[in-house]
């Protein structure tokens, strides 16, 4: 991005970032909570659950907000890649919806989330034995955010600042991405995206281009996410049960696995 292309710096999109953060917390993070709160009799297992309805709304609202965010980018982005990414994201989110719906029914049938798939008593009798969790296609989601981020630069140092409202949104935004990274088990994808953002910032800085308020909001949100993930891993580093479920070099426990192991099992 050249300096003359960055003259049309966009103001901070308070409305979009607020709606984006709100719907992430309510429809994604709040989905399993709603499934615990609402009585099972209201949503029998042969009908869509309250979590399914939350997921359906998420699959509609998130792509819409991403498209509105791209529309406000001061830089013209390749439309074909945007459309393909949105379509792929919706397809992956729909697969995820089915997987979560099945997982919800397994939980009421005795599935223990803090154990691996192979070690769950209810799964041991299923065939084939190589049963795995459904894939979660978050690559298009982070690709769209990174493409938007690539246009968030300004040649004016004075415009490289965040309003107070943006600073207030950084904490809930970063906390949600922590949940997305840990529960979705997408740490490698997230860390590659963050390093790509950092490399782009350093590259543009040599051209005397600086992040605008929207770019700073995304960058600080991701930086806070990385800090929270590091603290989360350090806190549960020596947990023997979670260590067994998440072997290997990349050890990032899921929050709901921690909940079923240390919270719900005590009641």
Q: Between the CA of residue 70 and those of 83, 96, 128, 142, 201, what are the distances in Å?
A: 11, 24, 43, 13, 19
Q: Check whether 135 has a pLDDT greater than 80.
A: no
Give residue 31's pLDDT: 84
Counting other chains too, the contacts that 204-208 makes at CB distance below 8 Å and 24 or more residues apart are: 204/1, 204/153, 207/2, 207/3, 208/3, 208/155
pLDDT, averaged across the chain: 82
Average pLDDT over residues 228-241: 93
Structural domain spans, the chain: 11-151, 158-266
For residue range 141-161, what is the model confidence (pLDDT) as tens digits? Answer: 999 999 999 999 988 876 778
- The string over 210-227, giving b where at least 16 C-beta atoms fall within 10 Å of a residue's C-beta and e elsewhere, is bbbbbbbbbbbbbebbbe
Range from 48-52, 63-67, 173-177 carrying the lowest mean pLDDT: 48-52
Predicted TM-score of the model (pTM): 0.80
For residue range 82-116, what is the model confidence (pLDDT) as tens digits? Answer: 989 999 888 888 877 776 766 666 665 555 555 55
């Amino acid at each position: 991005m050249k300096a003359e292309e960055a003259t049309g710096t966009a103001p901070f999109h308070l409305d979009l970032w607020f709606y984006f953060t709100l719907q992430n917390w309510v429809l994604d993070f709040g989905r399993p909570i709603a499934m615990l709160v609402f009585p099972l009799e209201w949503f029998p297992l042969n009908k869509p659950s309250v979590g399914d309805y939350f997921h359906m709304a998420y699959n509609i609202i998130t792509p819409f907000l991403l498209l509105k965010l791209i529309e406000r980018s001061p830089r013209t982005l390749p439309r074909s890649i945007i459309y393909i990414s949105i379509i792929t994201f919706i397809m992956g989110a729909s697969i995820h919806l089915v997987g979560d719906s099945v997982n919800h029914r397994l939980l009421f049938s005795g599935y223990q989330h803090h154990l691996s798939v192979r070690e769950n008593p209810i799964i041991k009798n299923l065939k084939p034995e190589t049963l795995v969790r459904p894939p979660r296609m978050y690559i298009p989601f982070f690709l769209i955010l990174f493409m938007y981020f690539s246009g968030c630069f300004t040649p004016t140092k004075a415009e490289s600042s965040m309003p107070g409202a943006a600073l207030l949104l950084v904490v809930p935004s970063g906390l949600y991405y922590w949940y997305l990274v840990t529960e979705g088990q997408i740490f490698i994808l997230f860390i590659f995206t963050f390093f790509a953002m950092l490399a782009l910032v350093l590259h543009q800085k040599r051209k005397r281009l600086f992040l605008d308020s929207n770019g700073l909001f995304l960058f600080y949100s991701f930086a806070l996410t990385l800090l929270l993930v590091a603290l989360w891993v350090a806190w549960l580093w020596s947990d023997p049960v979670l260590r067994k479920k998440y072997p290997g070099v990349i050890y990032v426990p899921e929050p709901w696995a921690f909940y079923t192991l240390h919270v719900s099992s005590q009641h």
